[in-house]
Amino acid sequence: MVTTQLLQVSTIEEVRKYIQRVRKEGKRIGFVPTMGYLHEGHISLVQAARAACDVVVMSIFVNPLQFGPNEDFERYPRDLERDRELAANAGVDLLFTPDVKEMYPRKVVTTVSVAEVSEPLCGKSRPGHFDGVATVVMKLFQIVQPDAAFFGQKDAQQLAVISRMVEDLSVPVEIVPCPIVREADGLALSSRNVYLTPEERKQAVVLFRSLKLAEALLATGTPLREIREQMTAMIKAEPLAEIDYVEVMKYPELVSAEHAEKGERICFALAVRFGRTRLIDNWITTV
Ligand code: AMP
C-alpha cells in the first residue's frame, strides 16, 4: 500500500492552485482521467503514472457530453466514498471530483471533434460520443496541464482519438497507453460489468474467447475476413449476446484492414450487448 496524503478538490480553481504550487517545485505531473467506480484497470493507470511522474492527478467525472439521450448517464455506477479510498491507497495525490455545473456552467458551444478516427466502430453506434470525450479531455488537459496522461487500451478507439487530437492541435501532453486489465476468466474490467446478471456475466467471457480465437487463427495464416466471420459465429452462439460490431481495422488509423500489409498494426474490435449492458473489448497486434 502506498501512503500519500490524498487531497480531494471539486473546483477548477483549487486544481489550478495546486498545480501552480507543484509546478514551482519542478514536479512532473501525471494525469489519469476517469468516470469513477474504480477498478483494477483504473488502478493500473495510477501505477503507471506513479512510475513515470512525481505527482499523480486523477479526475472522476461522469461526463454528460459523451452520453447519448438513451444511454446510461443517469444510472452509470457512482461511489465516491469508495473511489476516494481506492485512489488514496493507489497513491493518487490530487483527486478532482467536479460536478456538472463546475465543468459546464453554461451550455457548451465550443467542442473538439476529431474526424475520421471518431467515425467507425463506437462512433457509428454512439453518434457524438467521441466529440464529448475529446471535448472533456481537452478541457481537463487545460485545467490540469499534465506532462503525461495515461489511458487504457481497453478503449482503443478513444486512445486513437485522443492521440490524434493531441497531435493535430499540438497539445503539450504525452499520451501513455496502458495494457488492458482482465478478470481471471478474461473479461476486461469495466465499471459497467456490475450491470450484468450472473448469467450475462458468464456469457460475457465470449468477447475474450473470440479475441483468443482471432489470435489462434491469425497464427495459422487465416485471412482476416474469415477470422471475423468465425469470431462473429462464436459470439452469436451465446444466447444472450447481441452483436453491435465485430471489426478488424488498421490501428490507430481505424480504416479497413482488408489490405493490411505485413508489419502493419491491426485491431480486432468488438462491441456486444448483454441485455441493457454494452461491452467492448479489443486486441491490437501486428500482421
Ligand atoms: P472510464 O472510467 O471507464 O472512463 O475509464 C477511465 C480510464 O481507464 C480509460 O483510460 C480507460 O481506458 C481505462 N480503463 C478502463 N477499463 C480498463 C481496463 N480493464 N484495463 C485498463 N484500462 C482500463
Q: For the segment 28-53, what is each residue's pLDDT rounded down to a tens digit? A: 999 999 999 999 999 999 999 999 99
Degrees, nearest 5: CA angle 119-125-131? 50
| Non-local CB neighbours of 40 within 8 Å, separated by 6+ positions | 181, 189
Residue 213 CB-half CA count within 13 A? 18
Q: How far is the CA of 36 from the centre of ligand 1 (A)?
A: 9
Whether domain 191-286 has CATH 3.40.50.720: no
More confident call, 86 vs 2: 86
Name the percent of the chain lying above pLDDT 70: 99
Residue whose CA is closest, atom 11 of ligand 1?
Answer: 152
In the structure, what pLDDT confidence band is assigned to residue 227 with cuts at 50, 70 and 90?
very high
Ligand 1 pocket mutation, candidates 35, 133, 154, 267, criterion most atoms within 8 A of CB: 154
The answer on pLDDT for 2 being more than 90 is no
Query: In degrees rounded to 5, what are phi and psi of residue 161?
Result: -65, -45
The answer on pLDDT for 117 being more than 60 is yes
Q: What is the mean pLDDT of the chain?
A: 97
CB atoms within 10 A of CB 118: 25
| pTM, two decimal places | 0.97
Domain ranges of the chain: 7-178, 191-286
Superfamily of domain 7-178: HUPs (3.40.50.620)
Cβ of residue 37 lying under 6 Å from some atom of ligand 1: no
pLDDT value at residue 3: 54
Nearest alpha carbon to residue 269 among 249, 240, 241: 249
Q: For the segment 125-162, what is each residue's pLDDT rounded down to a tens digit? A: 999 999 999 999 999 999 999 999 999 999 999 999 99
